[in-house]
Structure 1
Amino acid sequence: MEEQSNRPIDILVTIDQNYIKPLEVMLYSLRLNNLQAKLRVWVIYDKIETTMLKSLENFATKIEIKIEALAMNADFDFPDSLLNLHDYPQEMYFRLLSGKILPKNLHRIIYLDPDILVINSIEPLWQLDLQNKMFAAAVHEGLTDIMSSINNLRLGTNNGYFNSGIMLMDLDQMRQKVNLKDITDAINEHHETLILPDQDILNYLYGDHIMKIPETHWNYDARAYHIYFTRSTGEINLEWIMKNTAILHFCGKPKPWQKENHSKFKTLYLNYQQMASKLIE
């Protein structure tokens, strides 16, 4: 038991250097709302300037988070069909391939997009029993869940359409079941119908291996306050969110650090951003 309690919560992020600053805000919110947790963050990247990586590591040290930076394994030969798909960066595929990249003594990890705020403990997600599933993820259902039906028709699946921005991942299963060839073959076959490439691939190839977790707790879409409020007949209000939601996800564009964003939670994000900036300065 003592050995288990001393183990850190392992977090995975896959970024390019354009998302260093949002990542710092995310990490600050993670630490502030998980004060007692031992946190270790694995950063898988392709091209980040050494000075920016060092700056991130220095910031993380200040908030007592251990950064483990891993350059992408050069053995992965990404095909042009994958890299050119809708101009999305290859970093988005690193999360699916992370079982092949991360050390083999890691058995589970929480993947987090950098465009989130952690506003409560993530310990319950970390301790979740996956019941032999490979992933745990949330579905953004909206008022009628019509988008899941559309995505199921588009991809030929029969599950809800899972969001890949926050996932608990069983790395041992991923090492056995996830490989670049399957991903590449799926992209080549469905190139014209893919909209969000890595998320579509997650659902198309591995939808049957995903446990559904509550979006209002673990992947709250910050754009959709009025949808959650209406669907819950007023129960999921701001007070409920601050008490029960662990992760606010600023899906889509614009982002809360951009001038155009009018999310109900932009002020909260800017507050965390300001506190993180002061710590850096």
Structure 2
Amino acid sequence: METINILITLDENYLTQLKVMLLSIKQTNAGDKFDIWLAHHSISETSGQQLAEFVRKLGYQLHMIHVDVDVWSSAPTLKQYPAEMYFRLLCGEYLPKTLTRILYLDPDILVINPIKPLWTLDMKNQMIAAASHNGLTGVSQTINNVRFQNKNKYFNSGVMLMDLTKMREKVKLNDIISVINRHAKRLILPDQDILNYLYSDHILSIPEEIWNYDTRDNMVHFTKSLGNIDIPWVLENTVILHFCGHPKPWEKRSLNRFAILYQHYEQLLRLNYGKYY
């Protein structure tokens, strides 16, 4: 059985959300084998051991990779955008050379249908496969075209299937640092902006409504599809629900239509794996 390799980059603040996401994978991909690769800088040994034990309970294997954060000292960071967000850009350097493909997932995600069709996707000789969130009018896309002075789609970095062989060839630290030094004040979503500025020509576009469904845009999807993409359609066809923006579904003030589904998986974590919650 082929192993599906999942990459996550985060700090201790998102460990519970990571566990919810991994549990959702287990619930909807019971017949598949997963290896989980976690690139981090500051997760404690105790937290790492507990996470590894939880991952083993799911039947998966956890690989913890400590990354030196000093190289990113010049990169813009915020509380919601810690230094760990940059690790995915250079993941080819941190991961074993024996790995040639990996699927990066943000921790604020639920996987609600089988993910293997994405893992086995023909990437058509591109370096990355990702989705764009264009909204109803496409205004944000136009703004990003002006910002980056190109006509390419603006891709969301929260779900990325990556060809690591090509990443190791094309993605260079000096190029990334150069963009940061020249355009730091213009970077709104820092690592995502860098990804699009440098590498959008090497990204294969995949359908957002299947592989990276922005849960804030429920009415956008419904309207653009002339009413075809409704809640039953999402539950049957969408694979990845992405809880972009704020408030998050684990916050009490969340009014997200899909928050109750997230809270359902959170409840399963509490009930069945309370020791790790």
Question: What's the TM-score once normalised by structure 2's chain length?
Answer: 0.96
Any conservation in 2 of the 1:223–1:251 contact (CA below 8 Å)? yes
Q: Where do 1:95-244 residues align within 5 Å? A: 95-244=88-237
SS in 2 for 1:70: strand
Partner SS state of residue 97, structure 1? helix
Match of 2:265 among 261, 268, 272: 272
Deviation for aligned residue 1:116: 0.3
Give the residue type in structure 2 aligned to 1:53.
G
How do residues 20-99 of structure 1 correspond to structure 2 at under 5 angstroms?
20-72=15-67, 74=68, 77-82=70-75, 84-86=76-78, 88-99=81-92
**Deviation digits for residues 28-77 of structure 1, max 9, x if unmatched?**
001110010001110011000111111111111111121111111x3x74
**DSSP-derived class of the 2:65 partner:** strand
More deviation in 208-217 or 221-230? Answer: 221-230
Aligned residue identity for 1:36: G
Contact 1:134/1:210 (<8 A) preserved? yes
Greater Cα shift, 238-247 or 142-151: 142-151
The answer (yes or no) to whether the contact 1:219–1:248 under 8 Å persists in 2 is yes
SS of 2:234 mapped into structure 1: helix
Query: Quick one: distance in 1 between partners of 2:77 and 2:7?
Result: 24
Q: 1:49 to 1:41 in 2, by over 3 A?
A: same
Question: Is the 1:157–1:203 Cα contact (8 Å) retained in structure 2?
Answer: no
Q: How many Å apart are 1:7 and its aligned residue?
A: 2.4
Aligned residues: 273
Q: 1:107, 1:171 within 8 Å by CA — same for their partners in 2? A: yes
Please provide the CA RMSD for this pair. Answer: 1.1
Distance 1:189 1:158 in 2: 21
For 1:262, the aligned partner's letter is L
The answer to whether structure 1 residue 7 and structure 2 residue 2 are counterparts is yes
Return 5+ residue gaps in structure 1 as ranges: 1-5
Q: CA deviation at 1:80?
A: 3.2
| Structure 2 CA distance for aligned equivalents of residues 262 and 52 of structure 1 | 31
For 1:104 and 1:214, how far apart are their aligned partners in 2?
29
Q: Does 1:245 align with 2:235?
A: no
Match of 2:13 among 11, 18, 23: 18
Q: What are the Cα deviations for residues 89-148 of structure 1, in whole angstroms up to 9, with x where unaligned? A: 110011011000000000000000000000001111000011110000000011122211
Q: Return closer, same or farther for 1:207/1:62 CA change in 2, 3 Å cut-off.
A: same
TM superposition score normalised by structure 1: 0.95
Are the aligned partners of 1:220 and 1:245 in contact in 2 as well (CA < 8 Å)?
yes
Give me the whole-angstrom Cα distance separating, in 2, the residues matched to 1:192 and 1:67.
36
